[in-house]
Amino acid sequence: MTDLMTTSLFWLAVTLGVFEVADTVSKRSDRHPLLHPVLWSTPVLIGLLTWTGTPYETYQQATFPISFLLGPAVVGLAVPIWTQRARIRRLAVPIALALGAGAITSIVSAVGVLSLFGAPNEILASIAPRATTTPVAMAIAGQLGGVPALAAVIVLFAGVIGAMFATPLLNLLNVRDYRARGFAVGVAAHGIGAARAFQVDSTAGAMASLGMALNAATTAALLSILALLV
């Protein structure tokens, strides 16, 4: 059994199996916010790795195909953006305003709150890019003197929380336009939020993809400028 757990196929199969179970439960609950598959599959996998004493390096190597496919999956989100390009052009001004407000608010709210509690610069640098994609956040955190691995975890949970509560919150605020809903989710909750938006509406998904891509670039630019000024 120990030899089996060190093979690549074992942990790859376990990861896919755990996520499939979590996703099935989520589907049967009509995608209840508190039953998001990433929210539950992550601690289960952490528990299994801890219980079996499997080093993270072994797990990372075993699940490399999943990590590798993350890149093409993100690039694939450009397809719905292209199909909605005419509509997006007409919304250039509101998109620019919402993007600027969202990117700045994301950085200031996270860094500002932790600064009040005396968090060290290393932590501040790790949480600043929380609303971008994982690769972007890790790169930015490393350049700012943060911890890339911590930045990746923060991005994951930011996405899960956004995907969980975006729909109920937007309903509460009476935001009915799927273009606005999708863009807001993409800016706040990157790829995980975009995936959730596609489950709700194709237009929302396209706008979420756009928000995710633009916010990653905008946040990277803003933090780079901030790093030069500080």
pLDDT tens-place string over residues 83-109: 878 888 888 899 999 999 999 999 998
Instruction: Check residue 2 and give its pLDDT.
Output: 56
Model pTM score: 0.81
Instruction: Check residue 1 and give its pLDDT.
Output: 52
Residue 206 · residue 83 · CB < 8 Å? yes
Count of other CB atoms within 10 angstroms of residue 40: 19
Distance, CA of 50 to CA of 43 (rounded, Å): 10
pLDDT by residue (tens digit) across 58-80? 888 888 888 888 778 777 777 87
Distance, CA of 47 to CA of 58 (rounded, Å): 15
pLDDT by residue (tens digit) across 186-230? 999 888 888 888 888 888 888 998 999 899 889 988 888 887 776
Distance, CA of 144 to CA of 124 (rounded, Å): 9
Q: What is the DSSP letter of 53?
A: T
Distance, CA of 96 to CA of 108 (rounded, Å): 18
Distance, CA of 104 to CA of 188 (rounded, Å): 11
33-60 average pLDDT score: 88
Instruction: Check residue 230 and give its pLDDT.
Output: 66
Instruction: Check residue 55 and give its pLDDT.
Output: 87
Count of other CB atoms within 10 angstroms of residue 65: 11
User: Measuring CA to CA, how many Å separate 223 from each of 31, 103, 124, 211?
Assistant: 35, 10, 12, 18
> Domain spans of the chain?
1-54, 70-229
Nearest CA to 183 out of 49, 73, 87, 116 is that of 87
Q: Is the confidence at residue 41, as pLDDT, over 60?
A: yes
